[in-house]
Amino acid sequence: MKLHKTLAAILMGTALGVTGVVAPLPGNHDVAEAKWTQSRADQVIHVGTKYLGTPYKFGSKSSTTRTFDCSSFVQRVYREALGINLPRSSRSQAKVGVQVSKNSLKKGDLVFFRSSGSKSTSTYITHVAIYAGNNKLLHTYGKPGVTFTDFRGTSWEKRFVTARRVL
């Protein structure tokens, strides 16, 4: 992993500091930074897709990959893909990173929802998904377990509460 980070840092015009944190090299590297962030988002989606079809089970333990609930899935994918440790529950996950609007979603953003039976003004979070780009959510619920679903124009969009960027 260290070698991968070092190589990626060199290719993206950044340097690894003593702590292993990627820091920009002097100069204008906005494009390199955008590509690095995008490749990180692609890695999140890539890791998530290897679990497609894994059954949903409410309250699944963080230590298993045989079943997931929505927040254990998101937690597992971010830890496995990038070493990012997210809280266990969707409500706690909704407090990390930077808030982004529904119209500003980027691949890799966390998207939070209220339950289908709650009022349209409710902000009580009961579900989390990963925005996969191209109007798709990568998440798990009921059958078929881990899956991609459409976002805009669906009941998911109507249940939207907030979104957070952790990349």
The structural domains of the chain, ordered by start, are: 43-165 (3.90.1720.10)
> Could you report the per-residue pLDDT of 8-22, keeping only the tens digit for each?
333 334 333 333 344
* Residue 160 pLDDT exceeds 70: yes
Mean pLDDT of 24-39: 55
User: What amino acid positions are annotated as catalytic residues?
Assistant: 70, 127, 139
Mean pLDDT of 117-127: 81
- Give the pair of three-digit tokens for residue 68: 């997931």
* Residue 73 pLDDT exceeds 90: yes
- pTM > 0.85: yes or no: no
- Pick the more confident residue, 4 or 27: 27
Tell me the pLDDT band of 96, cut-offs 50, 70 and 90. very high
Tell me the pLDDT band of 118, cut-offs 50, 70 and 90. confident
* Residue 159 pLDDT exceeds 50: yes
Question: What's the mean per-residue pLDDT of the chain?
Answer: 83
> Could you report the per-residue pLDDT of 132-157, keeping only the tens digit for each?
999 999 999 999 999 999 999 999 99
